[in-house]
Chain A
Amino acid sequence: MKVGVVVFPGSNCDHDAYTALKHELGVDTVFLFHKEHDLQGVDAVILPGGFSYGDYLRSGAIARFSPIMNEVVRFAQGGGPVFGICNGFQILCEAGLLPGALLRNRDLRFISRHVQIRVRNTRTLFTGELAEGQILSIPIAHGEGNYFADPDVLRELQDGDRIVFEYCDADGNVSDASNPNGSALNIAGIVNGRGNVLGMMPHPERACTPLLGSADGLGIFQSLKRSLEIVLA
């Protein structure tokens, strides 16, 4: 089993994702440089957080055209697991692998703090080891995390059970008050129709050991590892 973490110019959570997988879970993990044309035979791809290409034009707009992204799109279309975190989520939306877009936060502020998210769908490659309704404390750090999509797309996401994480309060209530950035339907993370591409704004890789204030994010990487073990067995 091998997982690749893509490194764009401006990625800054690539080492966090690498550390979570390699050192917390013992998964063989490699970095994939944005200029490469080869995924090195990895079984899953992580698009990490950061500010690829300085967020020029729009978040994720330039990264989408990196050479490595052609391979990532092909890999995802073939059913390979692709997990975009924060800027990675923005890139997945720009690349059309996930619907919708991430707008500026409702109150214009860059928000960097721990939030609570509720697990809504455990039948994905990335959430099998979590419990439905489980509340995770995971940090967000973004200026453009306000999930937007047309009403018909939002309906599709709801009907298809594709909303994987939603912002909630400490008791699990999903409300406007627990919505940090104005996201439609409190969406913190969604999956594609086939269930192999997940994008989320919160940073589970920054919450993988108690030393970091929370280890709630590790379950997502554990779920991915477990899914790969089953697929590769």
Chain B
Amino acid sequence: MVRNSSAPYSLNPISPLTYAADITVMLRSAILDVQGKTVENALHTLGYAGAGHVRIGKHVTLSLEAGSLEEAEKLAREMAERVLSNPIMEDFVVSVAATTEQEAEA
């Protein structure tokens, strides 16, 4: 890809940038995580007596085309709210970064 390095990427509507989004979805802390509890018991059985508060969630990674980091973060959060999590029972954390390819070009 060849871009004019002096032009800000966000002003180029034709070729959006690619970002990498990481979304972690966890059961809300108020909800008993029976899966985590069962794994915790297994860890204790194996002798890891000090292991506690085991909670199990989901980790979603995806690539995202957007005009700017802000836009990419907004989109990722929207996806997490609408699809990737159920706000009634889950919380999520979103982190978005430019991909290495862009970093190299920049």
Contacts and interface: CB of A to CB of B under 8 A. Distances in A.
A103 B89 contact: yes
Interface residues of B, number: 11
Main secondary structure of the interface of A (DSSP, over half): loop
Contacts of B58: 57
Contacts of B84: 57
A117 B89 CA distance: 25
A65 B88 contact: no
Contacts of A108: 34-35, 38
Contacts of B68: none
Interface in B23-38: 27, 31, 34-35, 38
Given A57-B83, A61-B83, A65-B83, A104 B35 contact: yes
B63 interface: no
Given A106-B34, A107-B34, A108-B35, A100 B86 contact: no
B21 to A, nearest CB: 16
B88 A148 contact: yes
Contacts of B35: 104, 108
A106 B34 CA distance: 7
Interface in A96-152: 99-101, 103-108, 148-150
A94 interface: yes
Interface residues of A, number: 18
Contacts, number: 30
Interface string B27-58: 10001001100100000000000000000001
Given A57-B83, A61-B83, A149 B88 contact: yes
A34 interface: no
Given A57-B83, A61-B83, A101 B88 contact: yes
A148 B34 contact: no
Contact of B88 (A100, A106, A107): A100
Contacts of B86: 58, 61, 94, 101
Interface string A51-89: 000000110010001000000000000000000000000
Nearest to B88: A101
Interface in B49-104: 58, 83-84, 86, 88-89
Nearest to A106: B34
A148 to B, nearest CB: 6
Nearest to B38: A108
A103 B31 contact: yes
A107 B34 CA distance: 7
For the complex of A and B, 3 pairs with smallest distance between CB atoms: A101-B88, A101-B89, A108-B34
Given A103-B27, A148-B88, A150-B88, 12 more contacts: A58-B86, A61-B83, A100-B88, A101-B86, A103-B31, A104-B35, A105-B34, A106-B34, A108-B34, A108-B35, A148-B89, A149-B88
9 contacts: A57-B83, A58-B86, A101-B86, A101-B89, A106-B34, A108-B34, A108-B35, A148-B88, A149-B88
